[in-house]
């Protein structure tokens, strides 16, 4: 039943966009039909997952498939698959509804149908790879996902910047696939089949296991956007339409994490170095991700860097769990993996919320430049509230969901100190202040964005003429904000699901659910959350009561005596971030352009600053240019005519035949 | 049972009533150093009462976020002081992991205080908000490095145990790390509460200030909430330092509470002395001092884990 519902969901999602192709370009009937089918598919998928969580039963479907020797259409659900299916179907559902207002077929006649087609395929590809129990089928889903995402990124392909971002993404995703071919090839060598089963201890040599781990870390890390493998992520997220960004940032990059979680669950006896590496990478991604975010001027690029930060937090939890498995520490496994998994859900919820509300801003004001916006809270109060909820959640602040998962990871990391007589792993404990730094930087960054975009007064004509978005865009945001609040106030609802995920990852941990409830103060989180909200309501009531009883006047903002302020005099987001950008100047390498040799009374000048991505601009691109120069002799073979390539294939085949 | 209720009631009364007194003591200390009589010690209470009665002026650019700042600042501070043990070893609200909630409640307060400053659209308040969030980025790791020391010593993540009576026994075994943490947290106290050498709450030059400039446009009851919330935050950090330095519990409330309150007043006097004898740091030097605070705590951790 579970598998059937999920497969129906996958099939409907995959098919949804094709129906749109039957309609005329400017017809809105096609968009309604596509969205209805996609929503039905997502609901069917969610029903399947709910069935699995309720009954806990799964009957894998295994149909032989003569595509490649060893390939099979083998799908099944376990705690991990079901866990990752929830954000896939939920965000897809909400994104589809949001698209009705955001990317209307009547406003985008040339791209609307294409976008819906690949949106459905992206959902189907991700759901397929998560339920796949055969590595060929996994790669099949992986490539559908990767290619559909490429076509979604280049939706507005007429713009050069979009094409460039799409191209970098395409290169990165294929590099990832190359690594995965290595991973699954080596796994098949160790287990003897393409079926994804846990390897027994001793069935794989340490060298091969490490090779599998490293390839998986690079391949899946490229997709997840772990620093320094994140080069494709900021551009692709910024250039895609916002509900696509929500899907990519909320769900697609988590497929990299899924792969990493799945492969580490298959490998026996991880050495300490693995967990240590993963934890260190998490810290680097977290701190540098948020530091780069602080320096951005583009609203969606900024959110994209925050995805890297949150992937860092997720990876920190995973690293801790791996360390726990190496050293036999059940509490590290439970808290680390519970925090990591819950943060995956949470990040999907609040990052989708942030991208959707950013989309609402872009839809209304027509610009992504933070410093051209301002004062939108008056014109778009609901969007502002949604963005605020997302911002508070992503900073990990109570009473929303981000706090719960970060708390779990904190609790686990503190335990590496070794309480009482337990052995300690002192190095890991220094991830605690790093996580605190990440949290404080995130607060700085989101105060900056929220303040510059929604508060104060409009800095440009665009922002001045903004209007609230239609209901089809607001409702998905409201649902996401509601989910953030629900997990923040009642994390107990996620606990059994987390326990199932942990059991699937580390089957030898006994009674996970009890461990989790004894290690994590989930009930107290609810109590404190309710107290906080009640206190805020009481405080607000008190203040408004006092204000009603006293004289309240309106006046201009106090300008320290200056009486003719203009919106351009407001503190910009770049000035807000300047001190932090300078503090992290060693990593961010900010570039400023200012007029040189100013005369005594300067007339006109312009100044601008930017924080480019050094990993791409100074690392990868020069390396690629160098190798291109090095390998230029190879161009002799690139004739560009089909006959020559057919000849090469023929020669290669003959050579292989002779070699056999 | 009745004793517990009495203890909790006393905790709430002290935590809510004492904070403005600390501001009064600081002002009095500074006045004595300057050879003035100074305002009465109870002046902050009069100020709060006066502000509660006053009318307000709101800027036309502001939205509801402007009022949310003072409310969130006050409510989070009230919840936070209920989480820490004052005298004796009990806190009204206590659970394993409450220490992280404490830090994040302060983060929530910072988020909304800074957002409400940006809501006015004034560049002065923007500047103050930027400084506040920037300095917090460096203060936060210092707090958590100190927490690592306390967590290792107490084997717990519950403030009641981390700062409880058992800490007294640790002083002989781990005195050096504890002294380092006290020093580091005192620096954080000065930074987080915008005191000299980080900020000058007495000045009227907007450009030099951090916290005061953020609340430049607040007036009347809302400004009263800001002031009261700020004094609660000072009380909170002072209580952390006092519990670190004087964790001994005699077991009698009539002895523990006076010792604790004397300790709190002592911290207020110390802040006053620092303010009277030091000049405000140049803004570019502030991060250097905060990084030094982080390093002090980090050395504490290293000493403990070596």
Distances (CA, A) of A283 to A279, A319, A388, A432, B35: 6, 10, 26, 10, 52
The single residue listed with the structure tokens 């220094």 is A430
- The string of pLDDT tens digits covering residues B291-301 is 999 999 999 99
> Which residues does chain B have within 8 Å of residue A293's beta carbon, measured at their own beta carbons?
none
**Mapping DSSP to helix (H, G, I), strand (E, B) and coil, where does residue B176 land?**
helix
Mean predicted confidence (pLDDT) in A378-397: 95
Tens of pLDDT along A511-521?
888 888 888 89
Q: What is the pLDDT of residues A282-296, one digit of tens each?
A: 999 999 999 999 999
Of residues B45 and A227, the one with the higher pLDDT is: B45
Q: Is A480 on the interface with B (CB under 8 A)?
A: no
Return the DSSP state at B97.
T
What sections of A272-416 are H helices per DSSP?
Answer: 272-294, 299-327, 330-365, 376-379, 381-394, 401-415
- Determine how β-strand A552-555 pairs with β-strand A72-75: unpaired
Cis peptide before A552 (omega within 30 of 0): no
Mean pLDDT of A85-97: 95
Minimum-distance CB partner of A546 among B52, B74, B108: B52
Whether chain A has a CB inside 8 Å of the CB on B141: the answer is yes
Q: Mark yes or no for CB contact A443/B136 under 8 Å.
A: yes
Q: Round the CA-based radius of gyration of chain A to a whole number and report it.
A: 26
Q: Check residue B89 and give its pLDDT.
A: 65
CB A227 within 8 A of CB A618: no
Contacts of the segment B204-213: beta carbons below 8 A, 24+ positions apart: B206/A560, B206/B124, B207/B124, B207/B127, B208/B280, B209/B128, B210/B128, B210/B131, B210/B132, B210/B135, B211/B128, B211/B132, B212/B128, B213/B117, B213/B124, B213/B125, B213/B127, B213/B128
Q: Which of residues 387-416 of A touch B (CB under 8 A)?
A: 388, 391-392, 395-398, 403, 406-407, 410-411, 414
What is the dihedral sign for C-alpha A521, A522, A527, A533? positive
| DSSP secondary structure of A198-253 | PPPTTSS-HHHHHHHHHHHHHHHHHHHT-TTS-TTHHHHHHHS-HHHHHHIIIIIH
Q: Do the strands A552-555 and B56-59 form a parallel or antiparallel pair, or are they unpaired? A: parallel
Q: Residues 74..103 of B with a Cβ closer than 8 Å to A: which?
A: 74-76, 78-79, 93, 95-98, 100-101, 103
Q: Is the model's pLDDT at A595 over the cut of 90?
A: no
Chain A residue with the nearest C-alpha to that of B225: A543
CA A272 from centroid of its chain's CA atoms: 27
Q: Which domain holds residue B77?
A: 2-305
> Who among A381, A429, A447 is closest to B133 (CB)?
A447
How far does the CA of residue A293 sit from the closest CA of chain B (Å)? 14
Q: How confident is the model at residue B207, as a pLDDT?
A: 62
* pLDDT the model gives residue A176: 95
What pLDDT does residue B208 have? 65
Distance CA A352, CA B225 (A): 35
Q: Kindly list the distances between the CA atom of residue A111 and the CA atoms of A39, A355, A603, in Å, as whole numbers in the listed order.
A: 20, 20, 45
| DSSP at A298 | B
Question: Does A377 reach chain B within 8 Å, measured CB to CB?
Answer: yes
User: In the structure, what pLDDT confidence band is assigned to residue B205 with cuts at 50, 70 and 90?
Assistant: low
Report the pLDDT value the prediction gives residue B170, as an integer from 0 to 100. Answer: 84
Judged on CB neighbours under 10 Å (0-12, 13-18, 19+), A418 is: middle
DSSP B180-232: HHHHHHHHHHHHHTT-TTT--TT---GGG-SHHHHTTT--HHHHHHHHHHHHH
CB of A636 within 8 Å of a chain B CB? The answer is: no
How many CA atoms, within 13 angstroms, populate the side-chain half-sphere of residue A638? 5
Please report the pLDDT score of residue A56 as a whole number: 80
pLDDT band at A420 (very low <50, low <70, confident <90, very high): low
Mean pLDDT value across chain A: 90
Any idea of the CA torsion for A577, A583, A586, A592, to the nearest 10 degrees? 40
ipTM of the complex: 0.96
CA distance B207 to chain A (A): 10
**Interface residue B60 vs chain A (CB under 8 A):** yes
The predicted pLDDT at position B172 comes to 85
Q: Touching check for A455 and chain B: CB below 8 Å? A: yes
| Cα A594 to Cα A591: distance, rounded to the nearest angstrom | 10
Query: Cα–Cα distance between B212 and B227 in angstroms, integer?
Result: 10
pLDDT at A299 over 90: yes
Residue range B78-107: average pLDDT? 90
Mean pLDDT score, A173-196: 92
> Over 90: is that where the pLDDT of A384 sits?
yes
SS3 call for A284: helix
pLDDT 10s digits, B243-294: 999 888 777 778 888 999 999 999 999 999 999 998 888 888 889 999 999 9
- Taking the CA atoms of residue A175, residue A180, residue A185 and residue A191 in that order, the dihedral angle to the nearest 10 degrees is 170
User: Per the CB < 8 Å rule, is A395 touching B107?
Assistant: yes
**Cis ω for the linkage preceding A228 (within 30 of 0):** yes
Q: Band the pLDDT of B72: cuts 50, 70, 90.
A: very high
Q: What is the dihedral of CA B259, B264, B267, B268, to 10 degrees?
A: -130
Question: What is the Cα–Cα distance from A30 to A110, expressed in whole angstroms?
Answer: 13
pLDDT at B206 over 70: no
**Could you tell me the two tokens for B217?**
């446009």
CB pairs under 8 A between A and B: 258
**A376 within 8 A of A451, measured Cβ to Cβ:** no
Chain segment A531-569, per-residue pLDDT in tens: 999 999 999 999 999 999 888 889 888 877 777 778 888
Mean pLDDT, residues A105-134 taken together = 91
Whats the size of chain B, residue-wise?
306
* Top-confidence residue, A197 or A309: A309
Total domain count, chain B: 1
Hunting for tokens 């800027």 — which residue is that? B59
CA-based nearest distance B271→chain A, Å: 25
Q: Is B16 helix (H, G, I), strand (E, B) or coil?
A: helix
The pLDDT of residue A292: 94
Contact A552 B58 (CB under 8 A): yes
Say if A588 is an interface residue toward chain B (CB within 8 Å).
no
- Say whether residue B70 is in contact with chain A using an 8 A CB cutoff: yes
Most confident of A233-237, A616-620, B208-212: A233-237
How much is the average pLDDT of A574-603? 85
Beta pairing partners, A608: A593
Name the residue with higher pLDDT: B15 or A424.
B15
Kindly report, residue by residue over A219-254, the tens digit of the pLDDT.
Answer: 999 999 998 899 999 999 999 999 999 999 999 999
In the predicted structure, residue A66 carries a pLDDT above the cut 70: yes
Task: Report the helix count and the strand count for chain A, using DSSP H and E.
Answer: 28, 5
Q: Is the confidence at residue B239, as pLDDT, over 80? A: yes
Which of A27-36, A63-72, B141-150 is modeled with the greatest confidence? B141-150
Which residues in chain B are closer than 8 Å to A520, comparing Cβ atoms?
97
Q: Give the Cα separation of B236 and B240 in Å (integer).
A: 6
Taking only the tens place, the pLDDT of each residue in A478-505 is 999 999 999 999 999 999 999 999 999 9
pLDDT given at position A444: 95
Give me the DSSP letters along B21-66.
HHHHHHHHHHHHHHT---S-TTHHHHHHHHHHHS-EEEETT--HHH
Residue A386 at interface with chain B, using a CB cutoff of 8 Å: no
The dihedral through the CA atoms of B223, B229, B233, B236 has a sign that is positive
How far is residue A303's CA from residue A446's CA, in Å, rounded to a whole number? 10
User: What distance in Å separates the CA atoms of residue A37 and residue A233, rounded to the nearest whole number?
Assistant: 30
- Using the predicted structure, report yes or no on whether residue B210 has a pLDDT greater than 90: no
Q: Using CA atoms, how far apart are residues A109 and A25, in angstroms rounded to an integer?
A: 5
Residues in Cβ contact with A396 at an 8 Å cutoff, skipping those fewer than 6 apart:
A402, A403, A405, A406, A439, A442, B104, B107
pLDDT of residue A183: 94
> Which residue in this structure is represented by tokens 């508070």?
A392
Q: Does B49 touch chain A (CB under 8 A)?
A: no
């Amino acid at each position: 039943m579970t598998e059937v519902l999920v497969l129906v969901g996958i099939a409907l999602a995959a098919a949804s966009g094709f129906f749109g192709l039957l309609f005329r370009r400017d017809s809105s009937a096609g968009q309604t039909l596509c969205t209805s089918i996609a929503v039905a598919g997502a609901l069917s998928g969610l029903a399947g997952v709910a069935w699995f969580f309720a009954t806990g039963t799964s009957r894998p479907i295994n149909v032989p498939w003569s595509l490649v020797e060893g390939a099979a259409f083998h799908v099944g659900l376990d705690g991990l698959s079901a866990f990752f299916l929830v954000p896939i179907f939920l965000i897809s559902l909400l994104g589809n509804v949001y698209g009705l207002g955001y990317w209307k077929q009547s406003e985008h006649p040339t791209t609307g149908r294409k976008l819906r087609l690949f949106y459905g395929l992206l959902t189907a590809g991700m759901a397929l790879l998560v339920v796949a129990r055969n590595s060929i089928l996994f790669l099949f889903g992986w490539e559908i996902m990767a290619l559909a995402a490429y076509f979604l990124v280049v939706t507005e392909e007429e713009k050069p910047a979009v094409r460039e971002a799409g191209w970098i993404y395409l290169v990165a995703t294929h590099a990832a696939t190359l690594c995965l071919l290595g991973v699954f090839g080596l796994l098949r060598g160790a287990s003897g089949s393409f079926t994804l089963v846990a390897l027994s201890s001793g069935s794989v040599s340490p060298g091969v296991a490490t090779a599998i781990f490293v390839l998986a870390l690079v391949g899946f890390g490229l997709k997840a956007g772990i620093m320094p493998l994140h080069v494709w992520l900021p551009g692709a997220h910024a250039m895609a339409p916002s509900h696509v960004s929500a899907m990519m940032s909320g769900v697609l990059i988590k497929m990299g994490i899924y792969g990493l979680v799945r492969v580490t669950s298959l490998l026996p006896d991880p050495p300490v170095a693995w967990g240590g590496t993963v934890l260190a990478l998490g810290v680097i991604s977290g701190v540098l991700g948020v530091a780069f975010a602080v320096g951005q001027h583009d609203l969606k690029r900024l959110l994209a860097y925050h995805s890297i930060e949150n992937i860092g937090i997720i990876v920190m939890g995973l690293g801790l769990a791996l360390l726990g498995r190496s050293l036999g520490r059940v509490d590290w496994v439970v808290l680390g993996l519970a925090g990591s998994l819950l943060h995956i859900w949470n990040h999907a919820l609040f990052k989708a919320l942030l991208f959707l509300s950013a989309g609402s801003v872009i839809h209304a004001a027509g610009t992504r430049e933070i410093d051209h916006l301002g004062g939108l809270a008056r014109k778009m109060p609901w969007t502002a509230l949604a963005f605020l909820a997302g911002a508070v959640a992503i900073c990990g602040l109570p009473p929303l969901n981000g706090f719960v998962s970060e708390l779990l990871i904190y609790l686990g990391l503190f335990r590496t100190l070794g309480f009482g007589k337990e052995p300690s792993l002192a190095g890991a404990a220094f991830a605690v202040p790093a996580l605190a730094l990440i949290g404080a930087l995130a607060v700085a960054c989101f105060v900056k964005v929220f303040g510059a975009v929604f508060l104060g007064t409009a800095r440009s004509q665009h922002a001045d003429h903004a209007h609230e978005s239609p209901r089809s865009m607001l409702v998905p945001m409201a649902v996401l904000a509601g989910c953030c609040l629900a997990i923040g106030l009642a994390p107990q609802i996620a606990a059994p699901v987390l326990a199932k995920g942990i059991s699937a990852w580390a089957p030898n941990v006994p009674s996970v659910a009890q461990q989790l409830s004894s290690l994590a103060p989930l009930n107290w989180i609810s109590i404190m959350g309710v107290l906080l909200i009640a206190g805020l309501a009481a405080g607000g009531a008190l203040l408004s009561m006092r204000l009603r009883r006293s004289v309240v006047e309106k006046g201009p903002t106090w300008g320290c005596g200056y009486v003719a302020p203009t919106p351009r005099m407001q503190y910009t987001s770049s000035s807000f971030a300047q001190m932090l950008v300078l503090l992290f100047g060693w990593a961010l390498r900010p570039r400023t352009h200012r007029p040189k040799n100013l005369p005594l009374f300067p007339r006109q000048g312009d100044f601008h600053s930017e924080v480019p991505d050094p990993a791409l601009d100074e690392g990868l691109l020069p390396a690629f240019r160098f190798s291109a120069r090095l390998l230029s002799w190879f161009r002799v073979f690139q004739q560009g005519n089909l006959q020559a390539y057919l000849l090469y294939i023929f020669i290669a085949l003959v050579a292989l035949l002779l070699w056999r | 049972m009745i004793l517990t209720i009495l203890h909790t009631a006393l905790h709430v009364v002290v935590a809510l009533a004492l904070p403005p007194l600390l501001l009064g003591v600081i002002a009095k200390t500074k006045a004595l150093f300057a050879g003035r009589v100074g305002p009465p010690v109870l002046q902050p209470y009069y100020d709060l009462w006066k502000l509660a009665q006053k009318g307000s002026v709101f800027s036309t650019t502001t939205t509801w976020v402007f009022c949310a700042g003072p409310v969130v600042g006050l409510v989070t501070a009230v919840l936070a002081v209920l989480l820490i043990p004052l005298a004796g070893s009990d806190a009204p609200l206590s659970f394993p992991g409450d220490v992280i909630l404490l830090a994040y409640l302060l983060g929530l307060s910072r988020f909304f205080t800074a957002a409400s400053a940006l809501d006015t659209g004034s560049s002065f308040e923007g500047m103050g908000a930027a400084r506040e969030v920037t300095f917090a980025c460096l203060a936060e790791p210092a707090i958590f490095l100190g927490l690592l020391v306390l967590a290792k010593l107490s084997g717990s993540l519950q403030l009641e145990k981390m700062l409880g009576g058992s800490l007294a026994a640790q002083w002989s075994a781990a005195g050096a790390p504890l002294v380092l943490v006290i020093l580091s947290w005192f620096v954080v106290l000065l930074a987080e509460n915008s005191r000299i050498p980080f900020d000058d709450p007495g000045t009227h030059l907007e450009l030099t200030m951090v916290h005061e400039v953020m609340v430049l446009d607040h007036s009347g009851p809302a400004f009263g909430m800001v002031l009261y919330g700020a004094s609660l935050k000072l009380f909170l950090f002072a209580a952390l330092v006092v519990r670190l330095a004087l964790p001994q519990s005699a077991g009698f409330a009539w002895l523990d509470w006076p010792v604790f309150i004397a300790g709190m007043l002592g911290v207020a006097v110390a802040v006053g002395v620092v303010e009277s004898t030091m000049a405000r740091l140049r803004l570019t030097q502030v991060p250097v001092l905060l990084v030094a605070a982080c390093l002090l705590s980090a050395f504490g951790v290293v000493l403990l884990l070596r």
